[in-house]
């Protein structure tokens, strides 16, 4: 994941080129004078060339990989922990912060939008001043944001400090992959990247459990403070082990493009969330915000087309397979993040499980990905990317529809089976489409492909939380409104706040004492009803993704393997700072 490499727009590949887009192969690297001796992608498929890795760095490459895994682990771990902690943060003080559902969404979206918006700038800055320096700075900012978030005094402060954590993460993620490909030789890069990706699956698996354990014994802020010791150990190890690397001729930063993308996304998502809060998407302030967001994003596209140093080369999207793979990434994370958001409230508020138990209940989803994702390549080779990705999308849609089986007292094993099936479906989507994104572009533009993949994944997840969270909030409010109105002596202002979420209703019920017990059952039923509507929306998004990949991804004929003699290649000296 590095900075975008600028050049002429990429047009759709030939039939033979398109057939190679969704194949799995090891990238060839050779010494390039244009990059000052740095390891850069070769334009020749399957060529034998040295990676340019100095002997001293080669000997400690696996230790370097462990350090890079720690940096990825802490970033992904924090987000999966936050999902489990949402119910606690929504609780009134001093247990939590009394955050509303909209504020919880922004606690997630502020991080994601800053991360996605600054990803390209961070990659370019890494090339300019050195990737190790950027990685160290990003980890330090992420750690500082974690401390501040842990001691937030209000939901507003938490949202702001989460944005600061997103800033740090934006500088961490591009640097890790850029360093990785410069310390491993050609024949070991696929293995190293596979281990790097496994760190993400590990974080998804242990995040909810870690969050549950912390919340069982400490205050809600511990889910952020736990990052601090990992960051400190990581910073020390990076200083000692990780080499620096840089591009002596980096492209210019595109500040206007970055600003337009961030502003457009914030306005668009804000409008969607506001529509859910007001239970009316026709309100003037909602329409103005959404329209302004779309207009700014349109201006962003025009600016990128005309710029000689764009943050995103929009010409990439002329390749149908590339666009379909990008859309698949965004759509699957749109559906997944929305479901993850409401499922925490189902397991804790409706079913009564603790935070730790809720974390354990999510485990089958991550376990399925750990089992099936490394083997997805074999399935693609046999059946083709189109069939595998379409089947994965349809399986995800089926599990979303399966959430309609969940009620107030449904056996919990049903949820576990659905989670496992959903993880298996995602495991047969993400590896093929990610490979397709990377191989649809020339190898010298691999950094841009990686950045686009991460950006659309993050934005898709943010929009999923916003859109599906708004649907959930609106459906719940409509269902519980009459019940709240029927409570004698309950002021209208309290009725409005109590209808914001199931947690808010439960809080009012607790304050009312015995008289409030009549609200518990209807609140749980109303949430299950809203969850069913939201799940159907998620299923529809997954079906849309299935149609996209079915129409544009290559079939079995596109899953062949490029020729490769598989022999080790000699190491050469490269301009990497030891």
- What is the DSSP track for 84-107? HHHHHHHSPTTTS----HHHHHHH
Q: Enumerate the H helices of 486-565 as residue ranges.
A: 492-498, 502-512, 517-552
The pair phi, psi for residue 79, each rounded to 5°, is: -70, -40
Whether 170 and 274 map to the same domain: the answer is no
Tell me the mean pLDDT per 10 residues along the chain, length 578. 40 43 38 33 36 73 86 79 78 80 77 76 75 90 93 88 91 80 68 66 73 83 89 91 74 77 76 65 85 91 83 77 85 80 83 80 82 79 88 94 92 94 87 71 54 75 78 86 80 79 82 80 89 91 92 68 39 45
Whether 337 and 208 map to the same domain: the answer is no
Contact 20, 384 (CB under 8 A): no
Whether 258 and 273 map to the same domain: the answer is yes
Whether 401 and 274 map to the same domain: the answer is no
**At which of 247, 272, 294 does a domain end?**
247
Q: What is the Cα–Cα distance from 531 to 339, expressed in whole angstroms?
A: 9
Q: What is the CATH number of the domain that holds 322?
A: 1.20.1250.20
Residue 403: the pLDDT is 93
Assigned token pair, 14:
């030939």
**At which of 228, 247, 266 does a domain end?**
247
β-strand pairing of 39-41 with 29-31: antiparallel
Residue 101 within a domain: yes
Whether 442 and 414 map to the same domain: the answer is yes
What is the Cα 144 distance to its own chain's centre? 21
Largest pairwise CA distance in the chain: 81
The pair phi, psi for residue 408, each rounded to 5°, is: -70, -30
Q: What is the Cα–Cα distance from 293 to 266, expressed in whole angstroms?
A: 7
Residue 34 within a domain: no
H-helix or E-strand spanning residue 342: helix 320-345
Residue 7 within a domain: no
Q: Domain of 132?
A: 13-28+56-247
Which of 117, 223, 225, 232 lies closest to 171 in space, CA to CA? Answer: 117
Which residue is listed with tokens 């080499």?
A: 243
Whether 365 and 284 map to the same domain: the answer is no
Whether 463 and 422 map to the same domain: the answer is yes
Q: How many domains does the chain have?
A: 3
Q: What CA dihedral angle connects 305, 306, 309 and 315, to 10 degrees?
A: 20
Residue 189: the pLDDT is 59
Whether 436 and 477 map to the same domain: the answer is yes
Residue 176: the pLDDT is 80
C-alpha dist (Å) from residue 137 to 122, 140, 165, 358, 440:
11, 5, 12, 34, 32
Residue 51 within a domain: no
pTM, entire model = 0.74
Q: What is the Cα–Cα distance from 127 to 153, expressed in whole angstroms?
A: 38
Whether 175 and 216 map to the same domain: the answer is yes
Contact 80, 226 (CB under 8 A): no
Q: What CA dihedral angle connects 25, 29, 30 and 35, to 10 degrees?
A: 140
**At which of 224, 247, 270 does a domain end?**
247
Which of 121, 470, 18 lies closest to 286 in space, CA to CA? Answer: 470
Q: What is the Cα–Cα distance from 137 to 568, expressed in whole angstroms?
A: 35
Q: Give the bridge partners for 244, in sequence order.
A: 577
Helix (H, G, I), strand (E, B) or coil at 40: strand
Which of 76, 78, 104 lies closest to 89 in space, CA to CA? Answer: 104
What is the Cα 323 distance to its own chain's centre? 18
Those residues with Cβ within 8 angstroms of residue 559's Cβ, 6 or more apart along the chain or in another chain = 22, 23, 380, 381, 383, 384, 385
The vertex-74 CA angle with 144 and 231, nearest 5°, equals 45
C-alpha dist (Å) from residue 402 to 349, 398, 405, 487, 533:
20, 6, 6, 34, 12
Residue 118 within a domain: yes
H-helix or E-strand spanning residue 28: none
Whether 525 and 547 map to the same domain: the answer is yes
Residue 565 within a domain: no
413-421's contacts with Cβ under 8 Å and 24+ in sequence apart are 415/347, 415/361, 416/361, 416/364, 417/364, 419/361, 419/362, 419/363, 419/364, 419/365, 419/368, 420/364, 420/365, 420/367, 420/368, 421/368, 421/395
Whether 351 and 431 map to the same domain: the answer is yes
Whether 547 and 413 map to the same domain: the answer is yes
Residue 443 within a domain: yes
Residue 40 within a domain: no
Q: What is the Cα–Cα distance from 575 to 437, expressed in whole angstroms?
A: 29
């Amino acid at each position: 994941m590095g900075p975008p490499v600028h050049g002429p727009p990429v047009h759709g590949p030939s039939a033979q080129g398109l057939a190679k887009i969704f194949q799995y192969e090891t990238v060839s690297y050779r010494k390039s004078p244009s990059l000052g001796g740095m390891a850069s992608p070769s334009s020749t498929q399957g060529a034998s060339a040295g990676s340019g890795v100095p002997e001293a760095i080669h000997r400690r490459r696996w230790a370097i990989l462990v350090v890079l895994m720690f940096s990825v682990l802490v970033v992904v771990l924090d987000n999966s922990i936050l999902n489990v902690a949402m119910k606690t943060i929504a609780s009134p003080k001093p247990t939590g912060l009394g955050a509303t559902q909209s504020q919880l969404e922004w606690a997630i979206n502020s991080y994601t939008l800053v991360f996605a918006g600054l990803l390209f700038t961070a990659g370019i800055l890494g090339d300019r001043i050195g990737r190790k320096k950027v990685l160290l700075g990003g980890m330090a900012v992420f750690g500082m944001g974690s401390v501040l978030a842990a001691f937030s005094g209000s939901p507003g402060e938490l949202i702001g400090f989460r944005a600061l954590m997103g800033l740090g993460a934006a500088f961490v993620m591009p640097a890790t992959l850029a360093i990785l490909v410069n310390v491993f030789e050609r024949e070991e890069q696929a293995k190293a990247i596979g281990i790097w990706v496994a760190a993400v699956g590990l974080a998804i698996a242990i995040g909810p459990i870690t969050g549950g354990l912390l919340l069982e014994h400490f205050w809600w802020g511990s889910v952020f403070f736990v990052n601090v010791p990992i960051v400190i150990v990581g910073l020390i190890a990076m200083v000692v082990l990780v080499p620096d690397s840089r591009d002596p001729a980096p492209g210019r930063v595109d500040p206007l493009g970055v600003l337009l993308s961030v502003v457009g996304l914030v306005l668009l998502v804000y409008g969607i969330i506001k529509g859910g809060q007001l239970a009316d998407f026709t309100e003037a302030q909602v329409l103005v915000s959404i329209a302004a967001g779309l207009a700014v994003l349109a201006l962003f596209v025009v600016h990128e087309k005309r710029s000689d140093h764009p943050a995103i080369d929009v010409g990439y999207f002329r390749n149908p397979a590339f666009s379909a793979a990008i859309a698949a990434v965004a759509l699957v994370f749109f559906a997944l993040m929305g479901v993850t958001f409401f499922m925490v409230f189902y397991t804790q508020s409706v079913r009564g499980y603790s935070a730790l138990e809720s974390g354990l209940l999510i485990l089958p989803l991550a376990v399925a990905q750990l089992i099936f994702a490394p083997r997805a390549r074999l399935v693609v080779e046999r059946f083709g990317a189109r069939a595998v990705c379409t089947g994965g999308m349809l399986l995800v849609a089926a599990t979303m529809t399966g959430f309609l089986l969940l009620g107030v007292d449904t056996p919990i094993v049903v949820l576990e089976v659905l989670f496992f099936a959903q993880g298996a479906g995602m495991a047969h989507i993400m590896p093929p489409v990610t490979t397709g994104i990377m191989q649809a572009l020339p190898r010298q533009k691999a950094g841009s492909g990686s950045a686009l993949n991460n950006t659309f994944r993050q934005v898709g997840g943010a929009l999923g939380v916003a859109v599906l969270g708004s649907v959930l909030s609106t459906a719940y409010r409509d269902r519980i409104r009459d019940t709240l109105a029927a409570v004698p002596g309950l002021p209208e202002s309290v009725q409005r706040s109590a209808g914001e979420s199931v947690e808010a209703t439960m809080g009012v019920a607790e304050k009312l004492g015995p008289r409030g017990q009549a609200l518990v059952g209807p609140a749980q039923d109303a949430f299950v009803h809203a969850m069913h509507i939201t799940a159907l929306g998620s299923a529809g998004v997954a079906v849309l993704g299935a149609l996209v990949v079915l129409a544009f991804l290559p079939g079995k004929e596109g899953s062949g393997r490029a020729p490769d003699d598989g022999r080790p290649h000699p190491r050469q000296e490269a301009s990497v700072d030891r």
